[in-house]
Amino acid sequence: MRRAVAHHAAGSWPAKEAVATVTLVFADRHRRRVRLSDDKGKPFMLDLERAVQLADGDGLALEGGGFIAVRAAEESVLDIRCTGAGHAARIAWHIGNRHTALQVLPGGRLRILGDHVLKTMLEGLGATVTETRAPFQPERGAYAGVHDHAAGHHHHHAHAERPG
């Protein structure tokens, strides 16, 4: 079975050497070791040194040469339109306060995975919310390159020690 043994960010690998593609929803793109099938049904083992948040356009280097190109699948998302920059910041704060992944779209629109509870909350805050199907590629987070926290909630909240 083919083995994908290294991850290369979009734009950093020779796309002309792609021998296959794999299309995955957001929840299936944070992986280290798993058996997958490419878009033509041919199996391969993703076998990386550490878990990585795969993004649309990334390349997975195959043992022995070639790459599998990663594609973000269309999935149920909510596109959020705000009335201005201040409103967008307020909406983004409420989304982040719920530890929900967020994608920033051109023109200041926002995108999250489909969730009827969040949709109701956002509409209550004055946002225009449209349910659609599209690829979801959220912001990776401030520490993504350092610790690869993109897919989960792994940070620690600082608490001051009280003098004793």
| 10-residue stretch averages of pLDDT, the chain, 164 residues long | 96 97 96 96 97 95 98 98 96 96 94 97 98 94 52 42 42
Model confidence, pTM: 0.80
Residue 140 confidence (pLDDT): 79
Q: 8 to each of 48, 116, 145, how far by Cα in Å? A: 11, 35, 13
Domains of the chain: 2-72 (2.60.260.20), 74-135 (3.30.70.790)
* H/E run at residue 40: none
CA-wise closest residue to 149 among 138, 140, 137: 140
The CA distance from 53 to 79, in Å, is 22
Residue 163 confidence (pLDDT): 43
Residue 159 confidence (pLDDT): 42
